[in-house]
Amino acid sequence: MTTARNLDLFGDDSRMEAILRDAELWFVVGLGDNPERVAYRVAALLADHGKRIVPIHPSAASVHGQVGYRSVTEAAAAVGAPDVVDVFLRSELVGPVVDEAISAHAKAIWLQLDVIDEDAAARARRAGVDTVMDHCPAQEWPRLGPVVS
């Protein structure tokens, strides 16, 4: 039996389109310096479309020429509130990152494909933070993203 998704938590086309269009500062959680990882390639696409990416990873490695940080809290203290916290972690690790994003005054939280934590997303929505779950900006960009010249 398939249940309908709660679009308030998972996001709909209009929400994803607005985030892709308007969000400039993307904290990418799980972004390390391994070019074989999906986070590395998605961050490159975002940067190619004019977005500023901030790597968040325990190694705090610089990626795509951007200084890395160990946590959302550390990055926010250094560069300010993110427009989006884009999360490449297993679902069971997402809750504390979402809570950090809320505390850092993120405007949106984007959980990647197969990254689902409805309780964490509900906390974010109650705090007034837009949420997207189980989607990838690289896959949605061709359909919903703005044309960058």
Instruction: Indicate whether this model's pTM tops 0.75.
Output: yes
Q: How far apart are CA 81 and CA 79, in angstroms?
A: 7
What kind of architecture, by CATH, is found in domain 24-139?
3-Layer(aba) Sandwich (3.40)
Domain assignments of the chain as residue spans, ordered by start: 24-139
Q: How far apart are CA 133 and CA 8, in angstroms?
A: 10
Q: How far apart are CA 58 and CA 74, in angstroms?
A: 11
Q: How far apart are CA 38 and CA 11, in angstroms?
A: 21
pLDDT digits (tens, 9 = 90+) for 106-127: 999 999 999 999 999 999 999 9
Tell me if 97 sits within 8 A of 112, measured CB to CB.
no
Tokens in use for 113?
């494909």
Q: How far apart are CA 9 and CA 1, in angstroms?
A: 20
Sign of CA dihedral 142, 138, 40, 96: positive
Q: How far apart are CA 63 and CA 44, in angstroms?
A: 9
pLDDT digits (tens, 9 = 90+) for 36-90: 999 999 999 999 999 999 999 999 999 999 999 999 999 999 999 999 999 999 9
Q: What is the pLDDT of residue 148?
A: 61
Q: How far apart are CA 48 and CA 107, in angstroms?
A: 21
